């Protein structure tokens, strides 16, 4: 098998080849590092990676190979490489959160999910690009330049986790870690033709994920197949005493659910408010086809109404900035990150802080901090933050009523396919609308999964199908997702990414540019 | 609900410790006015009888043993600081000298 064939395998297939001794982890890791060097850099590169961790990744891979050769029993995914969203702190690699304010910052500790990745002996390929502090839906708000969508290099890969999704779609990594506050794992998955899961709030520890909105943030898996996300969530999930919001449920049964292979008798609900008007025709068509496939597999499809979802976007844009404005107060030019001195006037700490945050934060971050400061200020708190928290209750009630009727809910993940870089950059409200279908899950804490549903007729770009389940029922997503995936792939004659254009090598261009 | 204007943004920027130029204040005031306008329907969504939700999964009184746990060393804690001295963070003047 050539290196180019190797990197196109699923993570579980890679794991099987490693276990069978057909390939080594060094070979596999090097193949991905070569792929990154080939397609990631230069003006027309994917730019999924902010940092490539070649030396450590190869050392971990060599260690896995030695242990395997010595007959040691290893984790199922040992030796399978992974990419990490650069919002998650890692020892030995810089963590920037996509912001200038943290340029070059080295965390003195590992996030809990990173400790678990290390314990499973998965080589970390590097850190992936994102909108600054995960604030955006296109990665255009990264201080280090946008990531490009492997399906069309002039289009956005979604956001905030566009780097993780693009890395996986471009075969630079078999899977990756993402974070999802309002759709930052699922919307990039939808527009890049990949799989992504936001687990139940608390199912995966947030310790070491740089916080945007603490009551909404969740770490989760990004992959090319449903089974791979299930395997990865089993690695990273489970209780963590370092995160007091982490659930005590064990992280088991997810891969088994993905392998179950039937949906007969399951009730699946179409959310009336999350399709139709405002959704691109090609998105709607692929969504309807998926419903037909699930029906043909023996699922019962019914329509349910979640009348308060119409308020979710507005409530989200009050709660998220409020929490973000508080969480980002720690970037003060004193304890970590950059410090900028004012060019004139007295050099007090207040003025240094103002100058540092002015120079270190980008526009979108400033917008959200100001908006959050406003929503929390005296006189407005009840009308804004208080009202938004009540909407949160209403959304939870809508979900509870819906899940009394059905096992799983289904909707398109994103109302549109990947748009052009720059198209919505000057229109914050248009950008915010990309998350209209993903936000309700974060508001209620329920798990959500996106998988590719095909290509839109009008532009040939990937469409995402979203599944939602009750809190703590993540396994249902993997069960239904894997069945739908296999039915769709049978129609396509293989994975959707087989239809993606071949990426030209940018390695020589990058060399010349240096 | 009141609209947000340029003076509001200037005041909020000061509260949030972000210096802003005149251009930036103008632009931000326009953008935020639009955003605030688009989210104001939220205040009409729920009546007084609806309780607030601050956290998606209700958890109460998460406790741990009162023992020293995971802590950073002084060197680790200072490793990312822009300036430090004698094992402490070093800051510019706290007060403006008159």
Q: Supply the pLDDT for residue A508.
A: 65
pLDDT 10s digits, A250-298: 999 999 999 999 999 999 999 999 999 899 999 999 999 999 999 999 9
* Cβ-nearest to A358 among B18, B34, B45: B18
In the predicted structure, residue A509 carries a pLDDT above the cut 70: no
| Cα gap A15→A261, rounded to integer Å | 21
Q: Could you say which architecture CATH assigns to the domain A3-308+393-495?
A: Alpha-Beta Complex (3.90)
CA distances for A194 relative to A87, A396, A463, B4, B39, angstroms: 20, 28, 10, 40, 31
E strands along A195-341, which residues? 195-198, 219-223, 267-271, 300-304
Cα(B43)–Cα(A391) distance, integer angstroms: 9
Interface of A with B in 285-314 (CB under 8 A): 308, 311, 313-314
pLDDT, mean of residues B40-51 = 90
> Does the beta carbon of A391 lie under 8 angstroms from any beta carbon of chain B?
yes
**CB of A174 closer than 8 Å to CB of A131:** no
pLDDT band at B97 (very low <50, low <70, confident <90, very high): low
**In DSSP terms, which residues pair with A176 in a beta bridge?**
A83, A222
Lowest mean pLDDT among A246-255, A326-335, A373-382: A373-382
CA distance A290 to chain B (A): 30
Residues 10-69 of B with CB under 8 A from A: 12-20, 24, 28, 31-32, 34-36, 38-43, 45-46, 50-57, 59, 62, 64
Interchain proximity A352–B92, CB inside 8 Å: yes
Give tens-digit pLDDT for A108-118: 999 999 999 99
Q: Where are the domains of chain B?
A: 1-45
Residue of A235, A234, A232 whose CA lies nearest to A221:
A232
pLDDT at B2: 58
* B86 interfacial to chain A (CB closer than 8 Å): no
* CA-closest candidate to residue A311, choices A381, A376, A390, A377: A390
Residue of A nearest to B73 (CA): A108
**ipTM for the complex shown:** 0.94
- What is the pLDDT, as a whole number, of residue A101? 98
Instruction: State how far the Cα of B48 lies from the Cα of B37, in Å rounded to an integer.
Output: 22
- What is d(CA B90, CA B77) in angstroms, rounded to the nearest whole number? 13
| Model confidence pLDDT, tens digit, residues A356-372 | 999 999 999 999 999 99
Of the candidates A434, A386, A441, A437, which has an alpha carbon nearest to the alpha carbon of residue A413? A437
Q: In the predicted model, what is the mean pLDDT of residues A51-71?
A: 98
Residue A514: pLDDT band (50, 70, 90) is very low
d(CA A440, CA A137): 16
The Cα B9–Cα B28 span in angstroms is 7
Rounded-to-integer distance, Cα A186 and Cα A226, Å: 13
Residues of A designated catalytic: 85, 160, 184
- Structure tokens given for A242: 């370092």
Give domain limits for chain A.
3-308+393-495
Collect all residues of chain B within an 8 Å Cβ-Cβ radius of residue A386.
52
Using an 8 Å CB-CB cutoff, list chain B residues near A248.
none
Fold adopted by B1-45: Histone, subunit A (1.10.20)
Q: Is A109 on the interface with B (CB under 8 A)?
A: yes
pTM here? 0.97
The confidence band for A96, taking pLDDT boundaries of 50, 70 and 90, is: very high
For the stretch A177-228, pLDDT in tens is: 999 999 999 999 999 999 999 999 999 999 999 999 999 999 999 999 999 9
């Amino acid at each position: 098998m050539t290196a180019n064939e190797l990197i196109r395998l699923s993570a579980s297939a890679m794991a099987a080849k490693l276990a069978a001794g057909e390939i080594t982890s060094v070979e596999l890791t090097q193949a991905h590092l070569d792929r990154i060097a080939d397609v990631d850099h230069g003006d027309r590169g994917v730019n999924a990676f902010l940092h490539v961790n070649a030396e450590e990744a190869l050392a971990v891979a060599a260690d896995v190979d030695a242990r395997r050769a010595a007959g040691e029993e290893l984790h199922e995914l040992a030796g399978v490489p992974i990419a990490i969203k650069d919002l998650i702190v890692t020892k030995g690699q810089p963590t920037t959160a996509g912001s200038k304010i943290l340029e070059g910052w080295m965390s003195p500790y590992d996030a809990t999910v990173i400790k678990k990745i290390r314990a499973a002996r998965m080589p970390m390929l590097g850190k992936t690009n994102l909108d600054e502090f995960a604030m955006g839906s296109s990665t255009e708000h990264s201080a280090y330049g946008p990531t490009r969508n492997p399906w069309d290099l002039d289009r956005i890969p979604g956001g905030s986790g566009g780097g993780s999704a693009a890395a996986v779609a471009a075969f630079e990594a078999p899977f990756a870690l993402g974070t999802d506050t309002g759709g930052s794992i699922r919307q990039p998955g939808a527009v890049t033709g990949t799989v992504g899961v936001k687990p139940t709030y608390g199912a995966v520890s947030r310790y070491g994920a740089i916080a945007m909105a603490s009551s909404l943030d969740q770490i989760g898996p990004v992959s090319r197949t449903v089974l791979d996300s299930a395997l990865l969530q089993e690695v990273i999930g489970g209780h963590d005493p370092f995160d007091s919001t982490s659930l005590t449920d064990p992280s088991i049964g997810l891969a088994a659910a993905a392998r179950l292979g039937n949906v007969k008798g399951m009730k699946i609900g179409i959310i009336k408010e999350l399709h139709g008007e405002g959704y691109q025709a090609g998105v709607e068509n692929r969504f309807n086809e998926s419903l037909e496939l699930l029906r043909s597999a023996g699922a019962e499809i019914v329509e349910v109404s979640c009348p308060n979802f119409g308020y979710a976007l507005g409530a989200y844009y009050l709660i998220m900035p409020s929490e973000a404005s508080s969480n980002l107060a720690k970037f003060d030019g004193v304890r970590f990150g950059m410090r900028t001195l004012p060019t004139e006037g007295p050099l007090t700490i207040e003025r240094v802080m103002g100058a540092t945050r002015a120079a270190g934060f980008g526009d979108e971050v400033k917008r959200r901090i100001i908006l959050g400061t406003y929503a929390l200020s005296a006189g407005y708190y009840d009308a804004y933050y208080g009202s938004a928290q009540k909407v949160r209750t209403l959304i939870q009630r809508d979900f509870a009523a819906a899940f009394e009727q059905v096992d799983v809910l289904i909707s398109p993940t994103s109302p549109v396919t990947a748009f052009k870089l720059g198209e919505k950059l000057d229109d914050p409200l248009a950008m915010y609308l990309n998350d209209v279908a993903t936000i309700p899950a974060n508001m209620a804490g329920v798990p959500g999964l996106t998988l590719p549903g095909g290509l839109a007729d009008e532009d040939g770009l990937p469409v995402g199908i979203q599944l939602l389940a009750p809190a703590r029922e993540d396994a249902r997503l993997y069960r239904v997702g894997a069945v739908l995936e296999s039915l769709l792939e049978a129609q396509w004659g293989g994975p959707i990414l087989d239809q993606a254009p071949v990426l030209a090598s940018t390695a020589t261009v990058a060399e010349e540019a240096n | 609900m009141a609209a947000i204007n340029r003076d509001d943004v200037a005041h909020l920027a000061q509260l949030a410790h972000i210096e802003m130029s005149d251009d930036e204040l103008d632009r931000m005031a326009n953008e935020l006015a639009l955003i605030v306008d688009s989210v104001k329907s939220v205040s009409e969504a729920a009546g007084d009888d609806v309780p607030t939700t601050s956290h998606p999964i209700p958890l109460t009184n998460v406790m741990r043993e009162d023992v020293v746990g995971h802590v950073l060393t002084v060197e680790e804690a200072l490793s990312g600081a822009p300036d430090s001295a004698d094992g402490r963070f070093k800051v510019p003047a706290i007060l403006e000298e008159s």
